[in-house]
C-alpha cells in the first residue's frame, strides 16, 4: 500500500453535489469526501462518513451516511454516492474517496459497500483516508479479492 500524506490549509465549499473535475487529483477527491461527511445523518452512532465518487467522464457525486432508527435500514456514504451517480445515468467509475473523523487509522468500507463497488468493476481506485486528509490507495479488487460480480452470472447463462 502506498501512503500519501497531504495537508491543506485552505477549504472549499461544495455548493452542489454534482461537479466536473477535468483535472482531478486524489487530494481533491478526498477533500470532497470530507465535505460530504459534514452532511452525515448519524444520531445513533455519531460516526460521520462521507464519500466522493469520480465517474469515467469526470463527474463527481458525493454522499454521506444516513442512519435509521431501524439500524439495518441505514445507508452508507459509499452506497449513497454511487446510487446518486447511477440514478443520473453513470455506471463507469474511476475512483472513490472515503472520509471519516478517524484520526489514528484509515476509514475502510464495510463489506456491503465493497460488494456494491464491485458491481461496477474491480479495477477502479479507492482512496481510504484519515481526518487529516492523508490517504491510502487501493483497488476494489484489493479490498474484495476473489469477488463475485456480474460476469459470474453471465457465465451461468452460457451453460
Which residues are catalytic, by number? 78
Whether 103 has a binding-site annotation, put simply, is no
Whether 22 has a binding-site annotation, put simply, is no
Are the C-beta atoms of 122 and 92 separated by less than 8 Å?
no
Are the C-beta atoms of 42 and 48 separated by less than 8 Å?
yes
How far is Cα 7 from Cα 111, in angstroms, rounded to an integer? Answer: 29
Whether 64 has a binding-site annotation, put simply, is no
Q: Are strands 93-100 and 125-129 parallel, antiparallel or unpaired?
A: parallel
Whether 42 has a binding-site annotation, put simply, is no
How far is Cα 6 from Cα 27, in angstroms, rounded to an integer? Answer: 7
Whether 35 has a binding-site annotation, put simply, is no
Whether 66 has a binding-site annotation, put simply, is yes
Where is the binding site, in residues?
Answer: 65-71, 76, 110, 113
Where is the binding site for Zn(2+), in residues?
Answer: 76, 110, 113
Amino acid at each position: 500500500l502506498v501512503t500519501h500524506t497531504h495537508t491543506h490549509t485552505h477549504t472549499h465549499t461544495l455548493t452542489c453535489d454534482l461537479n466536473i473535475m477535468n483535472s482531478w487529483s486524489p487530494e481533491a477527491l478526498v477533500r470532497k469526501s470530507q465535505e460530504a461527511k459534514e452532511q452525515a445523518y448519524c444520531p445513533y452512532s455519531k460516526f460521520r462518513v462521507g464519500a466522493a465518487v469520480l465517474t469515467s467522464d469526470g463527474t463527481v457525486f458525493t454522499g454521506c451516511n444516513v442512519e435509521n432508527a431501524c439500524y439495518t435500514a441505514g445507508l452508507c456514504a459509499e452506497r449513497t454516492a454511487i446510487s446518486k451517480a447511477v440514478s443520473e445515468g453513470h455506471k463507469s467509475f474511476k475512483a472513490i474517496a472515503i472520509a471519516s473523523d478517524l484520526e489514528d487509522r484509515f476509514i475502510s468500507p464495510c463489506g456491503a459497500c465493497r460488494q456494491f463497488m464491485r458491481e461496477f468493476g474491480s479495477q477502479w481506485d479507492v482512496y481510504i483516508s484519515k481526518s487529516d486528509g492523508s490517504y491510502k490507495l487501493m483497488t476494489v479488487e484489493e479490498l474484495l479479492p476473489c469477488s463475485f460480480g456480474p460476469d459470474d452470472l453471465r457465465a451461468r447463462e452460457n451453460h
